[in-house]
Structure 1
Amino acid sequence: MSEYYDPETYPQAWNYLQTGTIIDQYMIERELAHGGFSSVYLARQLEDQVQVAIKEYLPRKLAHRTWNNVVTPNSDESKTLYLRGRALFFEEAKVLANLKHHNIVEVINFFKANETVYMVMTYDYGLTLDKILLKKIIPMNESFLLKVFNDLLNGIAEIHRQNFLHLDIKPANILIRAQHDPLLLDFGAIQSFPVAKNSNRTKVLTKGFSPVEQYTNQTRLGPWSDIYAVGASMRACLDYKPPVPAPIREQEDTLIPAVKAHKTKYPEYLLKAIDWAMAVQPEDRPKSVAELQQALNGEN
């Protein structure tokens, strides 16, 4: 038998840690989500039974889980990339452990085990904004948008104050808690700012939400890059679908401005703020969170 589980024969064992697995001081309850580089689990602290979320580094193109849960690179060629990614994941955990804000997911612990690394976060109840939009669970209106995105921008401002960029803001990474209280999730694309020109960080791109400058190494990233993603997330709330991807808009912008497309439902100041944040070229956008918040509050 192969030393690791065949994903076709044992799909469940391959994809995630099993219920009841104990890692460090936590017991896994179930998987919450997974992507190409990691999985997120609901777990409990053994000492006090408090629920937490645990993110495990496991890039499935580079590594696999063996029968005893040890994560191993797929080949000698993939080992270098795996180890570099693991180091970056650990650095991300260190950064997040020092980022404390009500609207930013809180990292309470991080550790190495099973030849990989784990990030432990507080577990919050709510629904991600993409699911809310898909099922139209909450009616979109001016008060909802202002509450959610003003609070979210407060958290983003703290990230920028500490000289970091999130670079993956989108409805799927915005958890809406009770009283429409947002929480920004998933800092897998985080970079320090100013970003080094020859940065070796893997690009994280989401069609419709990533600005044009994230697609190239020629244009400088900055707070305005996160601001585009915030504007695009707000526009998704108006249209109930992702906006036209930025590179397509750069070639030929067919996106009807919000001030025209939604003028009968929302006030002009709000729609103008969204259009400003979503300007294709970085120099045409707000340069800071404060500028965008002033526009959202009708102060421009």
Structure 2
Amino acid sequence: MTNDKSMLPIGTVLNGRYIIRGHLSSGGFGKTYLAVCRPQNTKVAIKEFFMTSANFRDADGVSVSTNRNYTQQFCEQIVKFRKEYERLRLISNVHVVNVYDCFEENGTAYYVMDFVEGTNLEEYLKKRNAPYTEIAVYNYLKQILDGLKAIHSKDLLHLDLKPANIMKTPNGYVKLIDLGASKDYIGGVGATMFTGVALTERYAPPEQVDGSFDKLGPWSDFYALGATLYRLLTNRVVPTYTSLYEDHTRDKHIALPMPNVSDKTKLLIVWLMNTDRTRRPQSVDDILQWLRNPPAQDQEVTIQDPEVTINVPGEEKRPQQPPTPQPRPTPRPTSQPPTPVSQNDKFSLLGCFYMIIMIVIGYIVGTIIIKALL
């Protein structure tokens, strides 16, 4: 629960049936509440659109007003907020929180989500104070990928994937929550309909941190996925993308130390967290395909330098797969059989005989001439 004083007061009734029972989180572009829905008193989570830089509460503590310098921008964003909700409500997946209601009230807009009972993976990690096992992480990974595929299939991006936004339910499922940062995505265009860009440092990829909206895509969520896996498997602070960029080692072991993590998993994380978005997986299917054909564990691991790219003119650029281990080359024999000599290179015996005769004749003739002169 948060102590943000700009949150709605406990007991506030929204849309005539949602009663605020608690404050869950607050960010630069929205606030999230725990509420109950009458008459069944079902627990729900409600996201309120609230721009910290533009909005403030009126004296009643409920109504939202907008700084006059941001009035037009705020009105435009309300419309986009509703459009994004229309996309979010189409997602039906057991690993993604369900969004099912949207309304305007108090000078702003709200949408309603299922409240997920359980604890997020970041809280579990802090309680454990030890890394998760690879078996557990791969179990979570498959569920997370299923959820991301459902989100991406609706041309949406999550854009705030991290352990704190992955809930573990009492029945053992994991579920992606906090879709407030999600954005429309158009292939070849990037993210659109921005209601603000919320991000979490160290989990957000370079293109998101830099505000390069046209460069955002599924690969942006995959960078955050790699950071999430790193955090869960090491219990270490995720490095900044600048640290990754400055690490010129082939396996990024300086920026991404991963003791007791298998080579296969290291390869996957380095691939996901490539600072070059074009060299990350481009779709969930890319990752699933790699997981179905992992590198053999008994082979030498060779990781290509992710900063080196060779472009072939006229060849379509394809997403780079994580480098797979290559077997050691079979050494060539140090000694080679002698190279056959051509018949033309052999001396002829007959030629040798003629040469000897010519030498003898020359010697005799020379001797005769010398004696005649004397």
Question: TM-score under structure 1 normalisation?
Answer: 0.85
The equivalent residue for 2:202 is 208
Which secondary structure state, in structure 2, belongs to the residue aligned with residue 99 of structure 1? coil
In terms of mean alpha carbon deviation, does 191-200 or 244-253 score higher? 191-200
Please list every run of 5 or more consecutive structure 1 residues that lacks an aligned counterpart in the other structure: 1-10
Name the SS for the 2:175 alignment partner. Answer: strand
CA distance 1:276–1:38, shift in 2 (3 Å): same
Determine which of 96, 99, 122 is the counterpart of 1:130: 122
Deviation at 1:61, TM superposition (A): 1.9
- Structure 2: how far apart are the matches of 1:219 and 1:60? 24
Q: Aligned partners of 1:177, 1:198: CA distance in 2, in Å?
A: 31
CA contact (8 A) 2:28 2:198 kept: no
SS at match of 2:87: helix
Which of these residues, 98, 105, 108, is aligned with residue 97 of structure 2? 105
Structure 1 residues 261-300: aligned runs within 5 Å = 261-262=257-258, 265-299=260-294
Counterpart Cα distance in 2 of 1:219 and 1:116: 27
Measure the CA separation in 1 of the matches of 2:68 and 2:188. 30
Q: Does 1:191 align with 2:184?
A: yes
SS of equivalent to 2:180: coil
Q: Tell me the distance in 2 between the aligned counterparts of 1:212 and 1:97.
A: 29
Distance 1:17 1:204 in 2: 21
Residue 215 of structure 2 aligns to a residue in which SS? coil
Q: 1:121 aligns with which of 113, 119, 123?
A: 113
1:149 is aligned to 141
Q: What is the CA-CA distance between 1:107 and the residue it aligns to?
A: 0.6
Q: How does 1:1-300 map to 2 (within 5 A)?
A: 14-24=5-15, 25-68=17-60, 69-73=62-66, 75-136=67-128, 140-189=132-181, 190-194=183-187, 196=189, 199=192, 201=194, 202-214=196-208, 215-217=210-212, 220-252=215-247, 256-257=252-253, 261-262=257-258, 265-299=260-294
- Structure 1 residue 125: Cα displacement: 0.9
Contact kept in structure 1, 2:167 and 2:174, CA below 8 Å: yes
Contact 2:159 2:220 in 1 (8 A): yes
Following TM superposition, by how much is the alpha carbon of 1:295 offset from its aligned partner in structure 2, in angstroms? 3.1
1:147, CA displacement in angstroms?
Answer: 1.0
Q: Is the 8 A contact 1:92 1:188 kept in 2?
A: no
Note the C-alpha offset of 1:204: 3.2
Give SS of 1:188's match: helix
Decide whether the 8 Å contact of 1:269 with 1:295 is kept in 2. Answer: no
Given that residues 165 and 192 in structure 1 are in contact (C-alpha distance below 8 angstroms), is that contact kept between their aligned partners in structure 2? yes
For residues 211 and 21 of structure 2, the distance between their equivalents in structure 1, rounded to whole angstroms, comes to 40
* Matched letter for residue 64 of structure 2: V
Q: Partners of 2:107 and 2:131 in 1: how far apart?
A: 45
Determine which structure has greater relative contact order: mean sequence separation of CA pairs < 8 Å that are 6+ residues apart, divided by chain length.
1
- 1:105-159 superposed Cα distances (whole Å, 9 cap, x missing partner): 1112111111111111111111222222233367500121011111010010111
Write the letter of the residue equivalent to 1:213: E
- The CA deviation at 1:12 is 6.9
What is the one-letter code of the residue matched to 1:23?
L
C-alpha contact (below 8 Å) 2:131/2:235 kept by paired residues: no
Aligned CA distance change for structure 1 residues 88 and 257 (closer, same or farther; 3 Å): farther
CA–CA distance in 2 between the matches of 1:65 and 1:20? 16
Aligned length: 288
Alpha-carbon distance in 1 for matches of 2:285, 2:77: 33
Query: Any stretches of 5+ residues in structure 2 without a counterpart?
Result: 296-374
Q: Indicate if the aligned counterparts of 1:128 and 1:174 stay in contact, CA closer than 8 A.
A: yes
Partner secondary structure for residue 43 of structure 1? strand
Tell whether the 8 Å contact from 1:194 to 1:221 is kept in structure 2 after alignment: no
Secondary structure of 1:150's partner?
helix
User: 1:119 is paired with a residue of what secondary structure?
Assistant: strand
- The corresponding residue for 1:3 is none
